[in-house]
Structure 1
């Protein structure tokens, strides 16, 4: 018992120290970077405002959401706090400016996070399609994967093709270099990541898992995650010439041996430092590698932080 108490005290001290590291970094280095003052007048249509004729896919810093379809997961006040990573619906996230969605499913096509369940993936698709009908030039990256430990839904690739139809941007390595205007009227890059089912082939309407990469660090320590993100991002080539999307997630994860298990409380340790991360990328000379930047509980400032750097890239200022 004494050893367990001692371990928890040590962990709390570690977390407090790591939170201070990020707070000090934000204080000393600030959050200034090219485009940091930019605020889109309409987050629902922010890509349109940056000129689809000029904005190239490989210039975009894509604001994304982690475990996107968890706004109604589990049982309210009981299991939901341990798995909910977003409070907004998929549609509301897109209206708020998110352009990358991370959706996990199980065999019956219900969305899940680990063992906890929520609505059918039909709800996700309906929200995506509603948003697409209300906008003209916004491109979405929709990543759908079979959750670890679960079985692939039967014929799910055909389901996605049938549901998204002409919205789908077919796999083509040349897409990365194109402007939004050159891709329209197709609007969705759909990355399908099954556990065992065949992966999408080259040229398919769906994209395979190798086209959306990340390096997940499973930790609840904010400075550890921040520096891990920096390290792995620095190992990537620049987005210009890169033929895959790379994601950095501004999140930390509750750990089973820590008494604080609610997602919101834990991820709040790193969430305020999104702008600090972008500023540090600029300072360390790796901002040209930043592409998908995702978060839990997305908000307006996170979207503005990503759109601002995107705007600077379009204007040749970053």
Structure 2
């Protein structure tokens, strides 16, 4: 018992030290970067506001949500706080400005996060289609994967093609160099990541898993995650030289050996430092690698930071 208590004391001390590290970093170097003062007039239509004729796909810093379809997961006030990573519905995330969705499914096409379940994936698709029906020039990256430990839903690729066929941007390396206008009226890059089923092939309506990469580390230590994100980002090629999307996730996750197991208070250790992260990527000379930037509990300030940096890229300020 004494050893366990000592371990917990040390863990809490480490978290406290790392939280202070980020506070000091933000105070000492700030959170300003090219475009940091930009605020879109309409977040629902922010790509349209940047002029789709001028914005290439590889110039965009895509605001994304981590574990996007967990707003109604589990049992409220019982299991939900341990797995909920977003409070907004899929439609309202998109309306707020998110353009990358991270969806995990199990065999029966229900959304899940580990062992906890949410609604049918139909709810996700309906939210996406509602948003697309209300906008004209917004492009979405929809990543759907089979959750670890589960089998792929049967014929899921056919389901996605049937549901989203009119909107799907087919798998093609040339997409990265095209402008938004050149892709319209197609609006969705759907990346399907099965565990056992065959990967989508080149030229198909769906994109294979290699087109969206990241370097996830499972930690609740905020400075450790922040620096890991910067390290791995710096190892990537510039966005103009690669033919895949690379994601950085401004999140930390609860750990079983720590008494704080609810997502929100844990992810709050790093969430306020999204703008600091962009500023650091600029100061370290790796801002040309930044592409997808995702978060838990997405908010307008996070979205504005991504759009602002995108605007600066388009205007040649970066």
**What is the CA–CA distance in structure 2 between the aligned matches of 1:15 and 1:300, rounded to whole Å?**
27
Give the Å deviation of 1:241.
1.9
Query: Does residue 128 in structure 1 map to residue 134 in structure 2?
Result: no
Structure 2 unaligned runs (5+)? none
Match of 2:200?
200
After TM superposition, the structure 1 = structure 2 runs for residues 243-282 of structure 1, keeping only pairs within 5 Å, are: 243-282=243-282
**What is the CA–CA distance in structure 2 between the aligned matches of 1:144 and 1:37, rounded to whole Å?**
33
Matched length = 318
Match of 1:220?
220
After TM superposition, the structure 1 = structure 2 runs for residues 144-293 of structure 1, keeping only pairs within 5 Å, are: 144-293=144-293
Match of 2:13?
13
Deviation per CA, 1:106-152: give whole Å up to 9, x if none: 00000000000010000000000000000000000000000000110
Deviation per CA, 1:289-318: give whole Å up to 9, x if none: 000000000000000000000000010001
Which secondary structure does the structure 2 equivalent of 1:240 belong to? helix
Give the Å deviation of 1:98.
0.1
Which secondary structure does the structure 2 equivalent of 1:143 belong to? strand
Give the Å deviation of 1:88.
0.1
After TM superposition, the structure 1 = structure 2 runs for residues 103-118 of structure 1, keeping only pairs within 5 Å, are: 103-118=103-118
Which secondary structure does the structure 2 equivalent of 1:253 belong to? coil
Give the Å deviation of 1:214.
0.2
Deviation per CA, 1:76-117: give whole Å up to 9, x if none: 000000000000000000000000000000000000000000
CA root-mean-square deviation = 0.3
Match of 1:300?
300
Deviation per CA, 1:131-184: give whole Å up to 9, x if none: 000000000000000000011000000000000011000000000000000000
Match of 2:87?
87
**What is the CA–CA distance in structure 2 between the aligned matches of 1:201 and 1:256, rounded to whole Å?**
39
Deviation per CA, 1:238-292: give whole Å up to 9, x if none: 0002100000000000000100000001000000000000000000000000000
**What is the CA–CA distance in structure 1 between the aligned matches of 2:308 and 2:286, rounded to whole Å?**
16
Which secondary structure does the structure 2 equivalent of 1:52 belong to? coil
* TM-score w.r.t. length of structure 1: 1.00
Which secondary structure does the structure 1 equivalent of 2:241 belong to? coil
Structure 1 unaligned runs (5+)? none
* TM-score w.r.t. length of structure 2: 1.00
Which secondary structure does the structure 1 equivalent of 2:240 belong to? coil
